[in-house]
Amino acid sequence: MYIIILGAGTIGTSIAEILIKNQHEVAVIDSNEEKCKLIDNKLGSISVLGNISLPNSLLNAGISRADLFISTTKNDAKNMLSCQLAKDYFKVQYTVSITHSKEISRLLDTINVNYTININEHITNELIAKIKMLGFNINVSN
> 102 or 136: which carries more pLDDT confidence?
136
Quote the CA–CA distance of 27 and 59 in Å, as a whole number. Answer: 11
Q: Could you tell me the pTM of the whole model?
A: 0.88
Please give the class, per CATH, of domain 2-133. alpha beta
SS3 114: coil
Quote the CA–CA distance of 116 and 135 in Å, as a whole number. Answer: 31
Sheet holding 94-99, edge to edge: 47-49, 25-30, 2-6, 68-71, 94-99, 115-118
The per-residue pLDDT for 142 is 56
Q: Which tens digits make up the pLDDT trace of 12-56?
A: 999 999 999 999 999 999 999 999 999 999 999 999 999 876 788
Quote the CA–CA distance of 113 and 83 in Å, as a whole number. Answer: 7
Distance set, CA 81 to CA 71, 78, 92 (Å): 10, 5, 14
Contact present, 27 and 46 (Cβ < 8 Å): yes
> 84 or 142: which carries more pLDDT confidence?
84
Contact present, 113 and 85 (Cβ < 8 Å): no
Quote the CA–CA distance of 112 and 67 in Å, as a whole number. Answer: 15
User: Mean pLDDT of all residues in the chain?
Assistant: 91
Beta bridge partners of residue 118, listed in sequence order: 99
Q: Which tens digits make up the pLDDT trace of 69-128?
A: 999 999 998 998 899 899 989 999 999 999 988 777 777 677 778 888 899 888 888 999
